[in-house]
Amino acid sequence: MAVPKGKVSRARRDKRRSSHWKLETPGLVACPKCGALRLPHRMCKECGTYNGRQVKVIKSNVAAE
């Protein structure tokens, strides 16, 4: 039977597991309407469109004069 020779410390155990939970960078795509970067399958935060439809009215940042 395989038996560990000694206790594995928490630091050694966690160093071994550290690479298992690395986050990947999200794949960003350009919005077809405004060109802003956004996550795929999500509404564009800049113009409020999704799948060619206006789903949210976004207030413009430019002050009305």
Distance CA 28, CA 8 (A): 40
> Where does the chain show beta strands of DSSP type E?
29-30, 37-38, 49-50, 53-54
Residue with tokens 């430019």: 62
Tell me if the pTM is above 0.75: no
The pLDDT score that the predictor gives to residue 21 is 81
pLDDT 10s digits, 4-25 = 899 999 999 999 999 888 888 8
Distance CA 21, CA 2 (A): 28
Distance CA 12, CA 6 (A): 12
